[in-house]
Amino acid sequence: MKSNFFQFLIALGAFVAIFSSCKIESEKLDPSPGKGLVFSSDTFWFDTVFTDLKTPTLRIRVFNPNDKALKISSVYVNGVNGQFPFSFIINGRSGPTRVNDLTIEGKDSVYVLLSAKINPQNNDLPFVVEDNLVFEVQGRAEKQNVVIIAYGQDAIYLKNTSIECNTIWKKDRPIIIFDTVSVKPNCTLTIEPGAKIYGYNAAFLIVRGELRAEGNFDQPIVFQGTRRESYYNTVPGQWGGILIMDGANGVFSNVVVKNAFRGIQVGEVGLLADPSRGNAFLLLRNSFIQNISDYGILGIKSGILAINNQFADCGEAGFGGLQGGDYEMYHNTFGLSGNNPFQRDGKFQVIFADNIPDSRTETTYGGKLTVKAVNNIIFGSEEEEIAFGEQKVIGTPFDTTFFNNIIRSRQNSYFIADGIMKKKKKKAPSNFRFLKPLNYYLAPDTLDDLNVFGTGLSLTGAKSIFSSVISDATLKGYLETDILGNRRPIAPLVRPDAGAYNNQKKIP
């Protein structure tokens, strides 16, 4: 037995010796590698980084081009003025302090993940933060580094906050909304032209008083998500959205609302909690609503006047008016960009109904519905892009009036000359398309098509159903220019182009 055991040990030792001598070349450590590391990128670039807010990670790949393994004796970031705004992870080990003794097999690679968290500098203007990720390779005298560059931006952070009365949000620094931020009843929040508001995750801006967000063509006001990487520019659902509650008011002009779950909701489901305050109201003009998971604009028993707006890539619908309400639309354009990622869940660009179910109480609420639509373009990928829910509130008005809209729809009964649906639509031509949809420029591109250009209703007699809120002269003043500030004719017998853009057929 002992003889057999000793024979086994001898055989085992021989096997180990043979196996060791046959070690794969790439696993052998080269004490003096002829080639240095190769990086998939020589720079980590961070777009604007909000101070005090940790960024998502960027990554690069680190290659060993040698046939044999090499050892990274140390990898670290230098730091900036004694601070370490950048941290990294390599092979599961974390910096910014030194990570020592890492081996990369021959012709193999590892990933480095890098993130940033920059301290505030009390500076209204963006500033540059630079550092280096340094690699020291055993057997090579020279150090190698990857440059790190970030554009820092001090911001104002708001979380679970009620805005004081008569507050002004200035354009000097970005506003970052966490959780919920609300405007109290009988209080006004005014936002300066050029201001940028960023919503984090499921954050909502809730308006119980008045919100005045009035930008201009050169300095629009932007509401969007906090992710600044270019990939996220068109991704919907990054933050909650704007809620204008019963009895509250919103005035928006030259505004961009994007990346939200729901763009702007106007009103609440159910009966008015305080009938003395009335329904919610929104004036929206010269604005872009896009990259929305749910509704771009959702009115609930509310009043909405929409002039010269573009709605693009809204998952449920661009515009919805439910549980009744009063809705007036002049020269709006609804369409799709074709950008990814975007999933369209709804079947219509525009939908109206005099009712809405409340899943919380298993009650269906309803009310009178009034819709007036003039010179709009409603187009998309479906054969039917507008819908009216079945009238369920018997004995109350269900009044919809359409004048010279271009709509993709097969059901002309919606727009018969007599009856509930008044006036007629113009069917979108079979060759209808937009000029530069990928750039969110949804001007018609069916050049010289007489069914598209110059087919709108003359605006000389324009009158709003909200006459108690807006005068005829003010309404015509809003209609005199399009979404880009181009002149729109208002004269007898002159028929403007439908949609938010006027006279764009001359653009090559």
As to burial, measured by CB atoms within 10 angstroms (0-12 exposed, 13-18 middle, 19+ buried), residue 174 is buried
More confident residue, 315 or 409: 315
Q: pLDDT tier at 508 (50, 70, 90 boundaries)?
A: very low
Q: What is 115-159 written as a DSSP string?
A: EE-PPP---SS-EEEEEEEEEEETT-SS-EEEEEEEEEE--EEEE
Handedness of CA 116, 120, 126, 130 (dihedral sign): negative
- Among 107-116, 328-337, 388-397, name the one with the lowest average pLDDT: 388-397
**Distance between CA atoms of 367 and 391, rounded to whole angstroms?**
10
pLDDT top residue among 133 and 96 = 133
* pLDDT the model gives residue 5: 57
Dist CA 371 CA 337 (whole Å): 26
Name which residue leads in pLDDT, 455 or 481. Answer: 481
Closest to 170 in 3D by CA, of 196, 152, 188: 196
Mean pLDDT, residues 7-25: 56
Pairing of strands 317-330, 369-374: parallel
8-state DSSP, 438: G
Provide the 8-state DSSP code for 389. Answer: P
The pTM for the full model equals 0.83
Task: With cut-offs at 50, 70 and 90, classify the pLDDT of residue 193.
Answer: very high
- Report the side by side order of strands in the sheet with 70-77: 43-50, 144-153, 127-137, 70-77, 99-104
Length reported for the chain: 508
pLDDT of residue 416: 44
Instruction: Look at residue 245 in the predicted model and tell me its pLDDT.
Output: 98
Separation of alpha carbons 384 and 378, rounded Å: 10
Please tell me the distance from the alpha carbon of residue 170 to that of residue 106, in angstroms, as a whole number: 56
Predicted local distance difference test score (pLDDT) of residue 452: 79
- What secondary structure does DSSP assign to 275-338, as a single string? GGG---EEEEES-EEEEESSEEEEEEEEEEEEES-EEEEESSEEEEEEEEEEEEEES-EEE---
The whole-angstrom distance between residue 345's C-alpha and the CA centroid of its chain comes to 17
Reduced to 3 states (helix: H, G, I; strand: E, B; else coil), residue 461 is: coil
Contact at 8 Å (CB) between 171 and 152? no
For all residues of the chain together, what is the average pLDDT? 89
Q: Decide if pLDDT at 1 tops 60.
A: no
Burial class (CB in 10 A: 0-12, 13-18, 19+), 65: middle
Q: What is the pLDDT of residue 25?
A: 65
CB-count exposure of residue 354 (10 Å: 0-12, 13-18, 19+): buried
Average pLDDT score over residue span 310-321: 97
The three-state DSSP-derived secondary structure of 47-109 is: EEEECCCCCCCEEEEEECCCCCEEEEEEEEECCECCECCEEEEECCEECCCCEEEEEECCCCE
Is 318:341 a contact under the CB 8 Å cutoff? no
pLDDT at residue 327 is higher than 50:
yes
Average pLDDT over residues 189-210: 96
With a pLDDT cut of 90, the percent of the chain lying above it is: 67
Q: With contact defined as beta carbons under 8 Å apart, do 454 and 488 qualify?
A: no
pLDDT of residue 123: 82
| DSSP state letter for 7 | H
Average confidence (pLDDT) over 470-482: 96
Q: Enter the DSSP assignment of 231.
A: G
Say if residue 96 is preceded by a cis peptide, omega within 30 of 0. Answer: yes
Locate 474 and state its tokens: 């003010």
3-state class (DSSP) for residue 442: strand
What's the rounded mean pLDDT across residues 130-145?
Answer: 94
* Residue 463 to residue 303: CA distance in whole angstroms: 16
Give the span between the Cα atoms of 450 and 345, in whole angstroms: 33
* Confidence at 422, pLDDT banded by 50, 70, 90: very low
- 38: its two tokens: 């190769």
Q: Which of 79, 80, 117, 118 is nearest to 98 (CA)?
A: 79
Contact 311, 296 (CB under 8 A): yes
**Torsion angle defined by CA atoms of residues 15, 21, 26 and 29, in that order, rounded to the nearest 10 degrees:** 120
Q: How confident is the model at residue 254 (pLDDT cuts 50, 70, 90)?
A: very high
Mean pLDDT of 436-442: 95
Examine the pLDDT at 8 and tell me if it is beyond 70: no
CA–CA separation, 360 and 29 (whole Å):
67
Of 318 and 422, more confident? 318
**Rounded Cα gap, residues 197 and 113, in angstroms:** 28
